[in-house]
Amino acid sequence: MRSDGSTTNSRLSDLDRALATRIREARISKGLTQSALADEIGVTYQQYQKYESGQNRITAARLFRLARALDLPISRFFSLDERGRAPPAVDQDDCLIVAACRSLPPEFVKAFRDLVTVMARSG
């Protein structure tokens, strides 16, 4: 394995795959479709799908446009642990919960957060 996490058999490194996962999570949490985000950053749906699935690397300029379209700091895509690895990705259920919460009134979100906090402490 190379220092960037890639192997000689693979063009994409672990970081490339983690980046693809984080892009997908951010899109879902914002409630956007792949088509809508592709249009926003000026690529075809098929090209965007390759970015999100980790089949193709994404350029710095395209990542910058993605961050702007998602209203996120570009650093959001590069959180690393002390060993230089991306922390475990949030799963799809987590993303769906966040997306659902965005459509609720603030008082419901607070009640839901309080409920989940109590459940986590007791469980």
Task: Specify the CATH number for the domain of residue 12.
Answer: 1.10.260.40
Tell me, yes or no, whether 59 and 97 share the same domain: no
Q: Is the pLDDT of residue 2 over 80?
A: no
pLDDT at res. 9: 38
Tell me, yes or no, whether 83 and 101 share the same domain: no
Tell me, yes or no, whether 64 and 123 share the same domain: no
CB crowding 6-20: b at 16 or more within 10 Å, else e? beeeeebbbbbbbbb
Tell me, yes or no, whether 74 and 102 share the same domain: no
Query: Per-residue pLDDT averaged across 13-30, rounded?
Result: 84
pLDDT at res. 86: 55
* Number of domains comprising the chain: 2
Tell me, yes or no, whether 78 and 102 share the same domain: no
Tell me, yes or no, whether 114 and 72 share the same domain: no
Strand extents, DSSP E, the chain: none
H-helix or E-strand spanning residue 121: helix 106-122
H-helix or E-strand spanning residue 87: none
Tell me, yes or no, whether 52 and 11 share the same domain: yes
Tell me, yes or no, whether 95 and 82 share the same domain: no
- Domain residues for the domain of 79 are 1-88
Tell me, yes or no, whether 97 and 79 share the same domain: no
Q: Is the pTM of this model over 0.85?
A: no
Q: How confident is the model at residue 46 (pLDDT cuts 50, 70, 90)?
A: very high
